[in-house]
Amino acid sequence: MARVLLQNIWKRYPGDVVAVKNFNLDIQDKEFVVFVGPSGCGKTTTLRMVAGLEDITEGDLYIGDRRVNDVAPKDRDIAMVFQNYALYPHMTVYQNMAFGLKLRKFPKAEIDRRVREAARILDIEHLLDRKPKALSGGQRQRVALGRAIVREPQVFLMDEPLSNLDAKLRVQMRAEIRKLHQRIQTTTIYVTHDQTEAMTMGDRIVVMRDGVIQQVATPQEVYNHPVNMFVAGFIGSPAMNFLRGELVEEGGSIYFRAPEISIRLPEGRYPALRQAGVIRKPVVLGIRPEDLHEDEVFQATYPEGTITGRVEVVEHMGSELYLHFTKGGQPIVARVSARFDPRPGSEVKLTMDMNKLHIFDAETEQAVG
Ligand code: ATP
């Protein structure tokens, strides 16, 4: 069992810095969990507390059934993979991978078995006699992973392991780490500031901000049901559009009103909106760029969600386009098929998918209904 349980964990640094605030998370055996958030949100500090490289100021940390707050890093049965690989330059790939086991006095035959097995899994068998300087960035990262795998730990901890690789290799290694996890199924905590990495790799993702967990859920849940504006804006690219306005109730209908925009909201939303007490209050309407549609079928389905705008910039992304326009002084981006290719300056009609609207309380920034 390699469940990792963090209960009411706090980290305070000298000088009144609270890096992690009351962090609670139950990571299941075999789970791949990603900590994601902007720089300084406390994800590395949390990972380092799990590793034992930082003291825990307050709270309880369990790995398996053991409370490990006071257990030395080497006795926690974890293996860490860092961004800078940290390979020994004077050793071969084989020696780099064998080093940790040798220190722990494993028998030679067992070391050899584990190194060759890991090399096979990572497809680096042909590189075992090379020194790190004769390897590409991706190969070095594989060796760093290999060094973690041979330990056969209960938990892998990975801190931005792909950030030194170029964009193409990052995409490739992202898939390889997922495949590796499917194969060996070791519980993994993975830290990144890259929301795409989080979305594509995590069974669950933990979105953090200023030392506080904002949301813990599957990537789909976080994407489709962000709990607040921070999560909604952080996850997804291009980012969700936010339109500031207010909710008005007229003749039994609830409208979102902003300069040049009036949208009758779907009735299914009314009970939650009324209960949240946001009628006649400032709200923010969120709509993802891909939920603005140019096609007539959508316009016929949701005439009440159709807005017109003058295109200011068209960004060509290959199979799709990003259209930038302004409505009542508020910028909007739509992500549409490249078949629809309006000229800058022309008028376009775009329809919101009314099932994909998000409404946030402008004051608390929390999602409401
Ligand atoms: P990044 O992606 O930049 O690594 P992060 O989310 O991993 O960011 P942390 O490195 O965990 O963030 O830092 C969280 C907060 O704790 C930051 O405000 C940081 O300045 C502070 N911090 C980190 N280490 C120390 C330290 N040794 N002493 C004081 N403050 C620290």
CATH of domain 241-361: 2.40.50.140
- 204: tokens are 């669950």
pLDDT, tens digit, 9 for 90 and up, residues 159-194: 998 888 888 888 988 998 999 999 999 999 999 999
- What distances in angstroms separate CA 168 from CA 33, 135, 316, 343, one per listed residue? 23, 17, 20, 31
pLDDT at residue 369 tops 80: no
The Cα 329–Cα 325 span in angstroms is 9
pLDDT at residue 344 tops 70: yes
Q: How confident is the model at residue 340 (pLDDT cuts 50, 70, 90)?
A: confident
ipTM given for this complex: 0.95
Return the ligand 1 atom nearest residue 46 CA: 11
Residues 173, 16: contact at Cβ < 8 Å?
A: no
How high is the pLDDT of residue 325? 93
Out of 43, 54, 82, 208, mutate this one to test ligand 1's pocket (max ligand atoms within 8 Å of CB): namely: 43
Out of 21, 44, 46, 163, mutate this one to test ligand 1's pocket (max ligand atoms within 8 Å of CB): namely: 44
How high is the pLDDT of residue 114? 95
211 Cα: distance to centroid of ligand 1 (angstroms): 9
pLDDT, tens digit, 9 for 90 and up, residues 248-274: 999 999 999 999 999 999 999 999 999
The Cα 346–Cα 360 span in angstroms is 31
Return the ligand 1 atom nearest residue 160 CA: 2
The radius of gyration of the chain's CA atoms, rounded to the nearest angstrom, is 25
pLDDT, tens digit, 9 for 90 and up, residues 186-237: 999 999 999 999 999 999 999 999 999 999 999 999 999 999 999 999 999 9
How high is the pLDDT of residue 172? 87
Least confident residue range of 98-107, 297-306, 312-321: 297-306
Residues 233, 242: contact at Cβ < 8 Å?
A: yes
pLDDT at residue 100 tops 80: yes
Considering the entire predicted model, what is its pTM? 0.93
Task: Tell me whether the omega of the peptide bond preceding residue 219 falls within 30 degrees of 0, making it cis.
Answer: no
Q: How far is CA 369 from the centre of its chain?
A: 24
Dmax (CA) for the chain in angstroms is: 81
The Cα 210–Cα 304 span in angstroms is 39
CA nearest neighbour of 4 among 61, 79, 87 = 61
The Cα 78–Cα 54 span in angstroms is 14
Residues 207, 51: contact at Cβ < 8 Å?
A: no
List residues near ligand 1 (CB under 6 A).
Answer: 13, 17, 19, 37, 39-45, 193
144 dihedral zone (left: phi>0; alpha: psi -120 to 50; beta): alpha
Contacts of 190 (CB under 8 A, 6+ apart): 32, 33, 34, 35, 158, 161, 177, 197, 201, 202
pLDDT at residue 298 tops 90: no
Sketch the domain layout of the chain as residue ranges: 4-228, 241-361
Least confident residue range of 93-97, 218-222, 293-297: 293-297
Better pLDDT: 85 or 293? 293
What mean pLDDT is predicted for residues 103-124?
A: 92
CA dihedral 222, 267, 261, 355 (to 10 degrees): 30
pLDDT at residue 312 tops 80: yes
CA dihedral 295, 298, 300, 306 (to 10 degrees): -90
Q: How confident is the model at residue 1 (pLDDT cuts 50, 70, 90)?
A: low
- 169: tokens are 């290799």
Residues 34, 190: contact at Cβ < 8 Å?
A: yes
Q: What percent of the chain has pLDDT over 90?
A: 83
How high is the pLDDT of residue 322? 96
55 Cα: distance to centroid of ligand 1 (angstroms): 14
pLDDT, tens digit, 9 for 90 and up, residues 4-21: 999 999 999 999 899 999
173 Cα: distance to centroid of ligand 1 (angstroms): 26
Assigned CATH class of 4-228: alpha beta
- The whole-chain average pLDDT of the chain stands at 94
pLDDT, tens digit, 9 for 90 and up, residues 62-90: 999 999 999 999 899 999 998 777 889 99
What mean pLDDT is predicted for residues 277-291?
A: 96
